[in-house]
Amino acid sequence: MNIKQTSPSDKKNYKYYDFLLAGFVTVLLCSNLIGAGKAAQVELPFFGTVVFGAGVLFFPISYAFGNIFTEVYGYAYDRRAVWCGFGALIFAAIMSQIVIHLQPAPGAYNEHLQEGLESVFGNTWRIIFGSMVAFWCGSLVNAFVLAKMKIRSSGKFLWMRVIASTAVGQGVDSILFYMLAFYGIWPTEQIMEVAFVQYILKTLWEILAVPLTYKIVGFLKQKEHEDYYDNQTDFNPFKYKV
């Protein structure tokens, strides 16, 4: 497979990037708005009964997208995707609050609907803020670690790079979210316990997804004729330009 290793000065129009970007933003919005609305539980060996937010089953998919973006297109393209997702989360948070605070029309149906909307989308601004900050920091840390490890390993050991970068990124994400959202409300020990369980579940999910990640990365590298190395990349997280 003949793949060109591009430089930062190259400008290309990729065939699949926009589709992946749309999928990434969709997963991010759904896992934060739909999945976060339900607390579930499962019986696990050694752990016993574990309570978790349903979104944890789907949110790690966004990290799989991030790994694919960085591995194939480079850190800058993943950074752009993260900013797009961040903007989408801000809009969704503002829209949900506006809809909730609009006066409902008279009638039993609308009253029950209002209660449901408040239950599902009525997260406090502190939780919304914690979710967005944790996502932004964790995703960019994940991309940075993966990009640097790719250079150090000369593009080898994708499985190790994907797992290691996700473990670091998810660690940042979990700690930041629970500290920003619940510090001073929950006991610190409980915050750390819940964050640890969420972190383990997310990391295990990524390990299980490694074979699929390999297939998607291999397909994209071949179709896009791209295997990007971030040798001269500006890793400034506040930039949007690729």
The answer to whether 203 and 166 are in contact (CB under 8 A) is: yes
**pLDDT at res. 231:** 95
- At 188, which amino acid appears? T
Residue corresponding to tokens 């934060």 = 32
Q: What tens digit of pLDDT does each residue of 137-147 get?
A: 999 999 999 99
Topology at the third CATH level for domain 17-224: Arp2/3 complex 21 kDa subunit ARPC3 (1.10.1760)
Q: Is 64 left (phi over 0), alpha (psi -120 to 50) or beta?
A: alpha
Which is more confidently placed, 132 or 148?
Answer: 148
pLDDT band (50, 70, 90) for residue 36: low
> Quick check: 2 pLDDT over 50?
no
Which is more confidently placed, 70 or 95?
Answer: 70
Across 219-228, average pLDDT: 96
**pLDDT at res. 1:** 47
- At 142, which amino acid appears? N
**pLDDT at res. 11:** 60
Across 111-128, average pLDDT: 79
**pLDDT at res. 8:** 46
Cα distance between residue 50 and residue 57, in whole Å: 13
Most confident listed range (45-49, 72-76, 181-185):
72-76
Cα distance between residue 227 and residue 220, in whole Å: 9
The answer to whether 180 and 126 are in contact (CB under 8 A) is: yes
Q: Which residues of 55-86 are buried (b: 16+ CB within 10 A; e: fewer)?
A: bbbbbbbbbbbbbbbbbbbbbbbbbbbbbbbb
Joined tokens for residue 20: 């992946």
Environment class of 164 (CB within 10 Å of its CB; exposed 0-12, middle 13-18, buried 19+): middle
**pLDDT at res. 173:** 92
Global confidence as pTM: 0.86
